[in-house]
Structure 1
Amino acid sequence: MELIKWLLSETGGTLIQTHASWVIVAGDVVYKIKKPVNFGFLDYSTLEKRKEFCQKEVILNRRLCPWVYLGVVPISRRGEEYLLEDESSVVEYAVKMRRIPQERLLINMLDKVEESHMKALAQHIASFHQRAERRDEWGAVSVMKFNTDENFVQTEKYIGLSISHHDYHFIKDTVDDFYQRYSSLMERRIAEGKIRDGHGDIRLEHVAFLEEGICVFDCIEFNDRFRCGDVINDMCFLSMELEFEGYHHLARVYEESYREFSQDEDMDILLPFFKSYRAYVRGKVESFLLDDPYLSQEEKEKHLLRARKFFSLSKYYAQTLRERFL
């Protein structure tokens, strides 16, 4: 934290924390520094790995947001002082970004966003998926099952805290039943080219309506299997979060517009499955923050409430899937 305190003092910026990064907002720019953590699915434990993933983050995010990502900058230490954007004695790396005005973020526009915004966003993402690289190897049932099994293993410790015993096993059993019944559907989608190198984290906080155009930023760079996959799995993260926030109408407009632009005939059955998965991932990540030594108890209480709400939403989608398709 010594470096972070220095950066805050040097830049006069403010700090935002995630489970994996320190984000310093300093005037018109943002510096994003990866925490030296290893969650298994995410490994930033060495300086070389953090440099590699900083570079990858810039390259990947410029696909959907070319105006924001300025590059990767080194941070050196000389004696008791740190030097920003200096290569003399590098101790850390940061992704340097243009600051996006808060009022331009979708999360802060929900009360005034119009259907036209959601339709344009759906078209933007559908077009991105059509031109994104095919990654058929990430579409196998075994890959998706590895992801969901990992989620269940990693959240066992939170049973009785952020997720109930009943909901945990109901969601797990529903997911397993889905694989048993619809593995052929998932295999067919590989052949149809529906597995793409996508974004992996299309959330309300990661969408901005800028003067230059729609910007979808902060994609997943740390693990290809979370970023690459079925296009419906990629697009539905946003509609899940819209429903989490209570904006069901906007979610429907977004989903129906994506369906229209993509002509994807499998959305009815795959949306509840993948939305359940996405809500569960969010519940897991919020639960991880309960173990973060850098957060106060008050902050952890907020994350606990959010985790419980995400897990409840995951169970709702799983119940919808079971009632309609299993």
Structure 2
Amino acid sequence: MHLLTYCTDGDDTPRLGARLAGDRVADLTALAAAAGARLPDSLLELIRAGAPALATARELIAGTPATRPLAEVRLLAPLRPGKIVGVGLNYVEHVAESHRTLDTERELPDRPVLFGKPSTAVTGPGQPIRHNADLTKQLDWECELAVVIGEPAFQVAEPDALRHVFGYSIVNDISARDQRRSGQWFFSKGQDSYAPFGPVVVTADEIPDPQRLDLSLKVNGRLRQNSNTRHMLFGIARLIADISSGMTLEPGDVIATGSPSGVGAGMVPPQFLQPGDLVEATIERIGTLANPVVDAR
């Protein structure tokens, strides 16, 4: 299933939905009420409710439910994670360009490089990325596969790790390159709107091999990133095992699995986002996450 959160014109109430064939949206909350079924009314609560709730959602859309065109609704971020665990330097070519332009280590890391993004950084499809020129002159993009956790994971063995995945989405790991502080990335990557997320969460059963997905990013229609998740230095199972070795991953948490090469800081000369730009991050089998850049001052 392609699960999403949306609202309609004249009603800002978030609604739990599913994207169906033909770019149609089914209202899962309304379907459940009509069928006399019990179903959480948010994607986060659906994830936390586990397999029975997911099975109910599948049953509700198995027939011919009433739908509306996707173009008639406004998509929101699918959910607000309890925590976002970012992964740095997880594609070999990005390690090289980061060493050349961002003074990171030349050698490939022997363990995942981890950092956090707060949930307040999350913004939805079509929502603005805030460019505050008083804080940054180097606002950059990073298209990343997002892993949404479905079951609690603590000290999980790598062979069992993917069993804890609910689904996959897209995160654009926006970064103010000139706001790194003594090597710390939290403020650089954690400001409001620095985690565009969506447009949907695709359940894990529809992506049996997440290490074979094309991903790309365009700025104003020009291709900037183009790679495949098979080029990750540390695959998703390894990331879950490593993170959960000392930290509990909870349902609804998100792992942003790292960026391929092609970031603005790596271009010659470097190029960074400016107000008026449009950023489009695309991942195979998930869709495109598009966000405008606006002046936040």
Fold shared, TM-score > 0.5 on shorter chain: no
Q: Which has the higher helix share?
A: 1
More strand by share: 2
* Higher-Rg member (1/2): 1
Pick 1 or 2: higher relative contact order, CA cutoff 8 A, min separation 6: 2
TM-score, structure 1 length as denominator?
0.28
